[in-house]
Amino acid sequence: MANLNLPKTGWVLVDTNFLIDFFSKKQFYSEFLKSASKSSISIVSIEPVRVEFIRSKNKDVVRQKSDFFIKVVEALLPLDQEVFSLVQPTDIFLACAIQRYSQVYLLTRNHQDFPTKLFKRSNIFNIETEKDVKTYALYQYIQPEAKEISF
């Protein structure tokens, strides 16, 4: 993960897939956590991600995932009524959260869910495990330019 270059300040909004991967392969993700703690960024998420991440049929796994979530995620971003009235899927909530909070970065490997026409993709990095390589990126919402209508 030598190409990891996190922003100097702001928040990194983590997606469920990152938490699942990190939880299952902690040894491969420790460098990311070290880099994040050295910078002035905070790792945040939203309640739907927490719920999706800790979901399990086994109570012990739920407890382990809940404890892990608390250790990794510093805060949950509040989602107000405006955000909740849009759409239900977690990715939509994540997109709404990074649109609402301008200095928040989304960390995900779901690149197809966050098109670069709407989201700026930066800080692409790989985490290699014993069986595969996961490619993550940070995304920020691109504020559209105001356009004048001419008659």
The contacts of residue 122 (CB under 8 Å, 6+ apart) are: 105, 137, 138, 139, 140
Q: How high is the pLDDT of residue 86?
A: 52
What residue spans define the domains of the chain? 9-141
Question: 148 pLDDT band (50/70/90 cuts)?
Answer: low
Question: 88 pLDDT band (50/70/90 cuts)?
Answer: very low
Mean pLDDT score, 55-84: 87
- Record the pTM: 0.63
Cβ contact 118:112 at 8 Å? no
Mean pLDDT score, 7-35: 88
Domain at 9-141: CATH code:
3.40.50
Span 96-123, pLDDT tens digits: 888 888 788 899 998 877 888 888 998 8
DSSP 102: T
- Kindly tell me if the per-residue pLDDT of 82 is higher than 70: no
Going edge to edge, which strands form the sheet with 40-45? 75-76, 40-45, 9-14, 104-108, 133-141, 119-128
The contacts of residue 107 (CB under 8 Å, 6+ apart) are: 12, 13, 14, 15, 18, 136, 137, 138
Mean pLDDT score, 26-33: 85
Q: Residue 120, Cα to own-chain centre: how many angstroms?
A: 14
In angstroms, what is the C-alpha Rg of the chain?
16
| Residue length of the chain | 151
